[in-house]
Each structure stands twice: as C-alpha cells, then as structure tokens.
Amino acid sequence: MTENELLQELAKELLIEPVRLNEVTAQGLSKQISISVRGALDILQQKEREGLLISRWARGDKGRRLLAFRKP
C-alpha cells in the first residue's frame, strides 16, 4: 500500500460529516434558551440517556468536532 492509498483510506474512515438539518448541538441550544453550553450539553446528554435522543460526532462551523443530537 502506498502512502497516497493509505491517506485516502484514512480520510474516508475519519471523515466527520457536518451537522445535519435535523440535528441540534449544545451550542445551538445554549443560544436558543440563553444558558451555558455546558448546561445545554448536560440537558441533551440526559435526554440521550433516557432514550429520547441519539448523538454522533459532527463537524461544526469552524471545522471543530462536536456532538450533534437528533431524535431516534
């Protein structure tokens, strides 16, 4: 396997898709209801534990990795 082939394989494997229209983030929720990002994340993670939401890693506006939540 050449270096180029390895890089292409890793790029496919590690690709993180952007936040989708049917997903919310802690940052978005915190702005919407005027609470801290940590508080919003706690709320979303609690709803995930209750089975009301599921999460995945997504790419944010500036390319940073963040959790995106959606209904199952």
Contact by Cβ (8 Å): 40, 47: no
Q: What is the pLDDT of residue 15?
A: 87
Is the residue at 11 inside a domain?
Answer: no
Q: CA–CA separation, 63 vs 59, rounded Å?
A: 5
Percentage of the chain modeled with pLDDT above 90: 76
pTM tops 0.75, yes or no: yes
Is the residue at 3 inside a domain?
Answer: no
Is the residue at 48 inside a domain?
Answer: yes
**Strands 24-25 and 65-70, bridge-based pairing:** antiparallel
Name residue, tokens 């534990």: 49
Is the residue at 35 inside a domain?
Answer: yes
- How many independent structural domains does the chain possess? 1
CA distances from 17 to 2, 11, 32 (A): 26, 12, 23
Is the residue at 29 inside a domain?
Answer: yes
Is the residue at 2 inside a domain?
Answer: no
Q: Which domain, by its residues, includes 33?
A: 18-70
Q: Which CATH number is 38's domain given?
A: 1.10.10.10
Average pLDDT on 25-37 reads 97
Contact by Cβ (8 Å): 47, 53: yes
